[in-house]
Structure 1
Amino acid sequence: MLEIVFCGLVGLLLIGPLFMNAIGPFIVWRTQKIPTIVQFEPLSDDAFYEHCSALVQLYDQQLRDAGFLVVGNSSMHDSQTDSYFRVYWHDALKLAATAVDIIGANQSTLSYCELSQKYTDGCWLNVSNSNRSEAYPELPIKQSFQFPDTHDVDVLLERHKQLRSKLKGDMPSIDYRAEHGFAEMAAFLREESDTLLAKGLVKPEIDADGKRPLTLYGAFVMTWRSVWPGRVVAVAAKRRLARRWLRSG
């Protein structure tokens, strides 16, 4: 009798993940699209602070204390999430930063800080403290590392510095051109979408909202990276990769 009850409980626990892994990709395929041509609208400081969490306000203060200047605020909205973010630039370090809140339906708010630097090889090096797996697989246009237990911007800066020395050496970085506002971010989203197209994850057509639909393959990849157990595996792999690079000679 106890074995039957135990098996029943295990079955109930597995129903959700099994459903999301088997049926979820088809839902994502029909409902989700990838931003490709984006026109970011500036958001006032008051509107930004109205929506941002206490954690993002903490990152904001730490970034400004570290010498970053505010480029501007904006937001992105789709059928599942509302994202609010502030972009920064450090002219001496040639380093961009973003403080982000992602508010999703039926999930807790994701608050994180990300440091980004582009190099003459056309690739970005990103370090963040996000605790969620990235929606996309590894792409040749960026190398990203996550330290979800780190809430101190100075520590993230040191991590970025260490990874840059190991991965980029003396390769020059490229200015963000802060005076152009969000143009650099819009250009990156287009390049990211084109890279996903080359990998077969999205379709070539762009709709009136500037978005590309996912292929069924892309929907499976994105879903598996966002639900259990793929989500846990992806985050753990990112953390191991970051630790390995930091320990390497």
Structure 2
Amino acid sequence: MLEIAFWGLVGLVLIGPLFMNIVGPFIVWRTQRIPTIVQFELVSDEDFFERCTEGVPYFDEQMIDAGFVVVGNSSLHDSHTDTWFRVYWHAQLKLAGTVVGISATNQPDLTYCEFSQKFSDGRWLNVSNSNRPEAYPALPIKQSFQFPEVQVVEQLLSLHAQLRQRLKGGLQPVDYQAEQGFAEITAFLREESDALLDKGLVKPEIDADGKRSLTLYGAFVMTWRSVWPGRAIVAALKRRGARRAVARG
């Protein structure tokens, strides 16, 4: 009797993950679309801070203290997720910064800081302290590293500087004028979508909302990266890779 109860309990525990890994990709395939052509609308500071996640002001204050100027606020929304982000630029470092707040269905709010720098080879170097794995697999247009244990902007900046020195060598960063607003982000999202297309993760057609549908293969890849156990495995590998990249420097 105890053995039957035990295996019954194990079955109940596994039902959720099995459903999400087997059935979940088909739901994602039918419902999710990838932003490709995005027209960002600026959000006023008052509206932004009223609606963003609670952790955003913590990083915003540190970004200003570190010498970044605010480019603007905007947001992205889909059926499951509301993403609020505040973009910054550091003219001396030629470095873009973003504070992101995400509210998603059935998940706790997430707030993180990210630094992004584009170089003359056309690739980006991104460093963040997000504790969730990226939705997309590795793409040739960028190198990204995550340090979720680092909650101080200056420390995250130092890690970006170390990785830049080791990985980019003599390559020059691409300058960006803050008055251009979200133009660079718009261009990057299109480039990212095209890179996903090259990997067979999205369909080539762009709908009236400027989005691409996932292929079934893309739905499986992105679902497995976002649910257990794939999410835990990807997160652990990303953290180990980030630590090793810094250690080798």
Cα distance in structure 1, aligned partners of 2:169 and 2:51: 39
Cα distance in structure 2, aligned partners of 1:247 and 1:106: 36
Listed as ranges, the matches of 1:54-203 within 5 Å are 54-203=54-203
Contact 2:53 2:103 in 1 (8 A): no
Instruction: Tell me if 1:239 matches 2:232.
Output: no
* Match of residue 15 from structure 1: 15
TM-score by length of 1: 0.98
Cα distance in structure 2, aligned partners of 1:114 and 1:163: 14
1:33-85 Cα distance to aligned partner (Å, 9 max, x none):
00000000000000111012332101000000000000000011111111111
> Matched residue of 2:55: which SS?
helix
CA-CA distance at 1:171 after TM superposition: 0.9
1:174-223 Cα distance to aligned partner (Å, 9 max, x none):
01221110010000000000010011000000000000000000000000
CA-CA distance at 1:5 after TM superposition: 1.4
Cα distance in structure 1, aligned partners of 2:131 and 2:242: 14
* Match of residue 220 from structure 1: 220
Aligned partner of 1:91: which letter? A
Cα distance in structure 2, aligned partners of 1:9 and 1:154: 47
| Residue identity (%) | 69
Cα distance in structure 2, aligned partners of 1:175 and 1:5: 63
CA RMSD of aligned residues (A): 0.8
Cα distance in structure 2, aligned partners of 1:33 and 1:54: 27
Contact 2:147 2:239 in 1 (8 A): yes
1:5-39 Cα distance to aligned partner (Å, 9 max, x none):
11111111110000000000000000000000000
CA-CA distance at 1:150 after TM superposition: 1.0
> Matched residue of 2:17: which SS?
helix
> Matched residue of 1:54: which SS?
coil
Instruction: Tell me if 1:51 matches 2:54.
Output: no
Contact 2:25 2:216 in 1 (8 A): yes
Cα distance in structure 2, aligned partners of 1:160 and 1:112: 15
Cα distance in structure 2, aligned partners of 1:56 and 1:30: 32
Cα distance in structure 1, aligned partners of 2:137 and 2:209: 24
CA-CA distance at 1:151 after TM superposition: 0.8
Which structure 1 residue ranges, 4+ long, deviate > 2 Å from structure 2? none
- Structure 2 unaligned blocks of 5 or more: none
* Greater shift in the superposed pair: 202-211 or 164-173: 164-173
* Greater shift in the superposed pair: 26-35 or 142-151: 142-151
TM-score by length of 2: 0.98
Aligned partner of 2:161: which letter? K
